[in-house]
């Protein structure tokens, strides 16, 4: 990479958004830039935002695909509110995303695409590059398509193939602006297109053409930017998405439990990557079944659990509803199984690629009869690893189905992940029944946890029967006795309730008591903690209780609530967690703030909300 003589300005953090048509490769561009960011040692968080159609209408606002990355020298918790830099590959993404660019931010556009037809299709009455509507921004008009073709004109490639690599020109511009190396992208080209050296070479040329263009443009070349590495603790790091982290956490649980992993699943957005990732690790002993439908996925997992495997099924909201009867079977048989629900905007098909927190009540109550499950939620892309591991531990040690809630924002977003050492992870100790145990009975329970023993079929002396019909206490015979049904129902509920004895107390970030407590759960953690940090920097008395354990709730929950004058519960739904809290803690008043747009909360939005709530206290 060339040595530059330009002024280099150091920045604490930056937000960059790539945007274009669904076929413009914005997700790949963002991913490669994220990889270079990871290798540069920055902390970061990403937000892929794309339509659900396989090939959305080209040139339309509804068909825009975007990828935002927030990276910095400091600790990064969110993908950022507004962008410092927007790369728009045609008029439609400029139209859609201009509102998300900071005043004075840099906008780089492919001027070749700003034709009269494209402008009308995007909803423009005039050309924004000429009508001075962008005068408050640092506009960089770039003939990206023309220069892309020119950079490889001697390679004999047709225009269609060449123009598919316009995104690499845009990436080259970003590498120049932020003083990044080519090596990460080059390695990707060689790995992805190794069998076609011509494509490898053309992408490398186009990448460097973008870099050279940026170097030649005065508005870009006079100042470039550098973000120093974040102060990360010593260890091995990688860029990881929430779905990959979930899959890895489940693999770690397999090793720590000594039980072979079995995943029975059906592909569904945005959870399919878990299935795909686990299928790549047969060498580690993982067994994966892509079932014909959602019901087959979970019942195959229940069968595997009965046979002694660490059983998992993965899905999203529509699939969870289809699995509800089978989850009841797992509750009745008291077999361990992890159900991963990567939430998306609903109901029905809804908005498959947009994130939401609207499956909480379904996870808690969406089954016939009294069928309590353990419910926990991850809060960041990287800690999907640890909460997948925790879900497995709770399922196998307490002999219960566990529903792990993540969401599309966590699943598809990525951040820096410190790869843990297996020796530092907790042991998982399933209550396996011993061969020829004269005291074994299918529903004989541990006096503390109330879990039954896991009797693996084929173990000598442990022949037994379980199933969906109600069972006699201790002995496991089919029973329709009214009093026995009451006893068994209460046992199943109390077994889940006693999990509270084995989870951590709820912690508060910020003020431990005071004026305002923000209560949140799941994937909103990053934006909540950034908002609370900003409030505390202004001297405001606020605390954050972000919940990972939903059912049961931590034992100190009520005590925490009692310390604050006002409690507000922001959620990306119409008020599901707040309804659950009102059921359990009627002595407290919970205010709510809800958003249902398929978009995350913004820090500025929450800071304004919290300030208004503090004013009400006065």
Q: What is the pLDDT of residue 65?
A: 93
User: Would you say residue 325 has pLDDT above 70?
Assistant: yes
State in words which class domain 7-226 has.
Answer: alpha beta
SS3 523: helix
Q: Which residue has the tokens 């992940």?
A: 417
542-547 and 514-521 beta bridge pairing: parallel
Q: Which residue has the tokens 């069968």?
A: 303
In this structure, is the dihedral angle defined by the CA atoms of residues 418, 603, 601 and 99, taken in order, positive or negative? negative
| pLDDT > 90 fraction of the chain, expressed in percent and rounded | 90
What CATH code is assigned to 238-424?
3.40.50.970
DSSP at 316: -
Q: What is the pLDDT of residue 1?
A: 47
101-110 and 138-142 beta bridge pairing: parallel
User: Would you say residue 476 has pLDDT above 70?
Assistant: yes
Residues of the chain with CATH 3.40.50.920: 509-617
Helix (H) or strand (E) holding 19: strand 13-21
Q: Which residue has the tokens 């991913």?
A: 31
Say whether the peptide bond before residue 120 is cis (omega within 30 degrees of 0): no
Instruction: Say which residue, 221 or 276, is predicted with more confidence.
Output: 276
SS3 575: coil
* DSSP-assigned beta bridge partners for residue 249: none
* Chain centroid, CA 237 distance in Å: 18
Q: What is the pLDDT of residue 221?
A: 64
Q: Which residue has the tokens 């003020």?
A: 511
Tell me the C-alpha distance between 528 and 78, whole Å.
9
Predicted confidence band at 499 (pLDDT cuts at 50, 70, 90)?
Answer: very high
Helices (H), 242-311: 242-257, 272-279, 294-306
Contacts of 483 (CB under 8 A, 6+ apart): none
For 278-297, what is the mean pLDDT?
97
Tell me the C-alpha distance between 391 and 291, whole Å.
22
| pLDDT > 70 fraction of the chain, expressed in percent and rounded | 98
Architecture of the domain made up of 509-617: 3-Layer(aba) Sandwich (3.40)
For 295-300, what is the mean pLDDT?
98
Tell me the C-alpha distance between 148 and 110, whole Å.
11
Predicted confidence band at 326 (pLDDT cuts at 50, 70, 90)?
Answer: very high
Residues of the chain with CATH 3.40.50.970: 238-424
For 363-383, what is the mean pLDDT?
97
43-49 and 64-72 beta bridge pairing: antiparallel
* pTM given for the model: 0.94
* Chain centroid, CA 456 distance in Å: 35
Q: What is the pLDDT of residue 6?
A: 61
Q: Which residue has the tokens 């899905």?
A: 315
For 490-518, what is the mean pLDDT?
97
Helix (H) or strand (E) holding 408: helix 408-412
Tell me the C-alpha distance between 202 and 184, whole Å.
16
Instruction: Say which residue, 491 or 159, is predicted with more confidence.
Output: 491
* Chain centroid, CA 614 distance in Å: 31
User: Would you say residue 529 has pLDDT above 70?
Assistant: yes
Tell me the C-alpha distance between 83 and 560, whole Å.
36
For 376-405, what is the mean pLDDT?
98
Residues of the chain with CATH 3.40.920.10: 7-226
How many residues can be counted in the chain? 618
Contacts of 524 (CB under 8 A, 6+ apart): 357, 379, 546, 570, 571, 572, 600, 601
193-239 confidence digits (pLDDT tens):
999 999 999 999 999 999 999 998 876 766 778 888 888 888 999 99
Q: What is the pLDDT of residue 222?
A: 65
- Among 102-106, 340-344, 544-548, which is the least confidently predicted range? 102-106
**Which of the given ranges, 138-142, 353-357, 551-555, has the highest pLDDT on average?**
551-555
For the chain, give the mean pLDDT: 94
120-161 confidence digits (pLDDT tens):
999 999 999 999 999 999 999 999 999 999 999 999 999 989
User: Would you say residue 2 has pLDDT above 60?
Assistant: no
For 70-84, what is the mean pLDDT?
93
CA torsion, ordered 450, 426, 382, 496, to nearest 10 deg: 10
Token representation of residue 262: 């079995």
Angle at 516 between CA 512 and CA 519, to 5 degrees: 80
82-113 confidence digits (pLDDT tens):
999 999 999 999 999 999 999 999 999 999 99
Tell me the C-alpha distance between 260 and 252, whole Å.
11
How does DSSP assign 177-240, residue by residue? Answer: HTT--SHHHHHHHHHHSTT-HHHHHHHHHHHHHHHHHHHH-HHHHTEEEE-PPP-PPSS-EEEE
For the sheet with 542-547, list strands across it.
509-510, 542-547, 514-521, 564-571, 590-594
* C-beta atoms surrounding 80 within 10 Å: 28
For 500-523, what is the mean pLDDT?
97
* DSSP-assigned beta bridge partners for residue 20: 65
Contacts of 216 (CB under 8 A, 6+ apart): none
User: Would you say residue 330 has pLDDT above 80?
Assistant: yes
Do 201 and 156 meet the contact criterion of CB atoms below 8 Å apart? no
User: Would you say residue 3 has pLDDT above 70?
Assistant: no
From the list 550, 162, 164, the residue with the least C-alpha distance to 359 is: 550
Token representation of residue 452: 């039954």
Angle at 250 between CA 249 and CA 256, to 5 degrees: 90
In this structure, is the dihedral angle defined by the CA atoms of residues 536, 525, 94 and 141, taken in order, positive or negative? positive
């Amino acid at each position: 990479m060339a040595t530059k003589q330009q002024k280099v300005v150091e920045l604490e953090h930056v937000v960059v958004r790539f945007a274009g048509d669904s076929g413009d490769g914005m997700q790949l561009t963002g991913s490669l830039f994220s990889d270079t960011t990871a290798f540069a040692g920055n902390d970061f968080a990403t937000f892929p935002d794309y339509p659900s159609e396989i090939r959305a209408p080209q040139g339309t606002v509804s068909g825009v695909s975007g990828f935002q990355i927030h990276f910095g020298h400091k600790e990064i918790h969110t993908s950022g509110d507004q962008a410092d830099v927007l790369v728009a590959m045609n008029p439609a993404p400029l139209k859609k995303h201009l509102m998300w660019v900071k005043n004075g931010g840099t906008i780089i556009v492919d001027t070749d695409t700003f034709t009269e037809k494209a402008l009308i299709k995007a909803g423009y009455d005039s050309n924004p590059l000429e009508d001075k509507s962008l005068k408050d921004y640092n506009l960089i008009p770039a003939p990206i398509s023309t220069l892309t073709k020119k950079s490889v004109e001697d390679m004999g490639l047709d225009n269609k193939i060449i123009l598919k690599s316009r995104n690499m020109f845009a990436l080259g511009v970003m590498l120049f602006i932020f003083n990044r190396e080519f090596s990460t992208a080059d390695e990707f080209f060689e790995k992805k297109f190794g069998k076609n050296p011509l494509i490898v070479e053309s992408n490398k040329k186009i990448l460097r053409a973008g870099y050279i263009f940026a170097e030649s443009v005065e508005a870009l070349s006079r100042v470039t930017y550098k973000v120093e590495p974040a102060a990360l603790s010593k260890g091995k790091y990688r860029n990881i998405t929430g779905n990959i982290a979930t899959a890895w956490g489940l693999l770690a649980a397999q090793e720590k439990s000594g039980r072979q992993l079995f995943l029975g699943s059906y592909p569904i957005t945005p959870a399919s990557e878990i299935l795909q990732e686990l299928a790549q690790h047969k060498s580690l002993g993982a067994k994966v079944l892509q079932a014909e439908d959602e019901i087959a996925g979970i019942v195959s997992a229940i069968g595997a659990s009965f046979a002694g495997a660490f059983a998992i099924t993965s899905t999203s909201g529509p699939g969870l509803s289809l699995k509800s009867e089978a989850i009841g079977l797992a509750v009745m048989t008291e077999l361990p199984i992890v159900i991963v629900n990567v939430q998306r905007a609903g109901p029905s098909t809804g908005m498959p690629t947009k994130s939401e927190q609207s499956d909480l009540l379904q996870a808690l109550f969406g089954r016939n009869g009294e069928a309590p499950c353990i419910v926990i939620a991850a809060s960041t892309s990287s800690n999907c690893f640890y909460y997948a591991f925790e879900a497995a531990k709770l399922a196998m040690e307490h002999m219960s189905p566990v529903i792990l809630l993540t969401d599309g924002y966590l699943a598809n977003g990525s951040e820096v992940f410190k790869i843990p050492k297996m020796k530092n992870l907790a042991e998982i100790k399933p209550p396996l029944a011993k061969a020829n145990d004269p005291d074994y009975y299918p529903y004989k329970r541990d006096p503390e946890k109330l879990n039954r023993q896991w009797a693996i079929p084929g173990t000598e002396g442990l022949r037994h029967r379980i199933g969906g019909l109600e069972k006699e206490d201790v002995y496991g015979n089919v029973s329709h006795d009214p009093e026995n049904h009451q006893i068994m129902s209460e046992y199943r509920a109390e077994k889940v309730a006693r999990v509270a004895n084995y989870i951590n107390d709820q912690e508060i970030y910020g003020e431990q008591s005071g004026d305002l407590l923000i209560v949140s759960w799941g994937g909103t953690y990053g934006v909540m903690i950034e908002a609370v940090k900003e409030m505390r920097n202004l001297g405001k008395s606020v605390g954050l209780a972000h919940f990972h354990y939903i059912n049961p709730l931590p034992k100190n929950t009520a005590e925490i609530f009692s310390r604050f004058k006002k409690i507000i519960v922001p959620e990306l739904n119409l008020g599901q967690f707040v309804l659950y809290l009102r059921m359990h803690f009627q002595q407290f008043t919970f205010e709510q703030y809800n958003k249902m747009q398929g978009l995350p909360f913004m820090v500025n939005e929450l800071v304004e909300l919290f300030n208004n709530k503090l004013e009400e206290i006065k």
